[in-house]
Amino acid sequence: MVSEHETDGSLLLATLQIDLPDDLLELALTHRSYSYEHGGIPTNERLEFLGDSILGQAVTVMLYRRFPDLEEGELAKRRASLVSTVALAEIARGIELGRFVRLGRGEELTGGRDKPSILADTMEAVIGASYLGAGPDAATALVLRLVAPLATAPGHFRISMDPKTSLQEAAGQKGLAAPVYELSESGPDHQKVFVATVRVSNAAGVVVVQATGEGPSKKQAEASAARDAVATLKALPTEAASA
């Protein structure tokens, strides 16, 4: 993946097969770290909020129609999987969205262009921008082009439903050590927040992938961290992981 910021938005629009005004696309690609370093200009967070809703609706309808024999509970699990950070980051990497994100210097230096959370949030913002700039039908069509292939992708739903096992298997496939988790907690007993950090190292003990997640329980925090880690690890070339 190219690390420099790509400023020619027409390349991204051609990949997305959609037409948007330059200012709207620029807003969709503006991360809060860039805003902070440039005088507090508007960020893509409102578009992200809009895109999240459009994404959820389009995926819900798609699953309802594509899988007429599935029960409500299974449909809900599949929807959660397809709109997850792991799924959106995978989609974003497939279209090289990270090349176009407007990041602050700090995020740039810490690998922000490939962070699952930034990629997923920006993907939602682009979907929101497509709704405003091209209309609801075009936005729905965009979601289906991006998401539909994952609905039948082997192994995708397992990553979402059992991320810790998926991470362990992915690490083994790349010749890496078993993932190691660290947990911390904060807050009162009735409202604790757990934070999990997972690290995957190579044979030399060098950390290759690190991710953090949080949740109201240890299990949910570890699962959140594992989802981000497996998304990053899957995108990492085997030779880079073992170096």
Binding residues for Mg(2+): 48, 121, 124
Dihedrals φ, ψ of 207, to 5°? -70, 120
Q: Compute the chain's Rg from CA coordinates.
A: 18
Choose the catalytic residue: 52, 107, 108, 228.
Answer: 52
Which tokens hold the place of 4?
């420099």
Task: Please name the helix (run of DSSP H) or strand (run of DSSP E) that holds residue 208, with its range, or none.
Answer: strand 207-215
> 9 vs 20, 136, 220, 229, CA distance in Å?
9, 21, 37, 29
Q: Is 182 a catalytic residue?
A: no
Task: Give Cβ neighbours of residue 187 (< 8 Å, ≥ 6 apart).
Answer: 193
Q: Is residue 76 within 8 Å of residue 64, measured between CB atoms?
A: no
- Length of the chain counted residue by residue: 243
DSSP string, 35-65: HHHTTS---SHHHHHHHHHHHHHHHHHHHHH
Distance between start and end Cα atoms, the chain: 18
Choose the catalytic residue: 90, 124, 222, 228.
Answer: 124
Q: Is 52 a catalytic residue?
A: yes
Burial of 130 per CB tally in 10 Å (0-12, 13-18, 19+): buried
| Feature table: binding site | 48, 121, 124
**Looking at the annotation, which residues are catalytic?**
52, 124
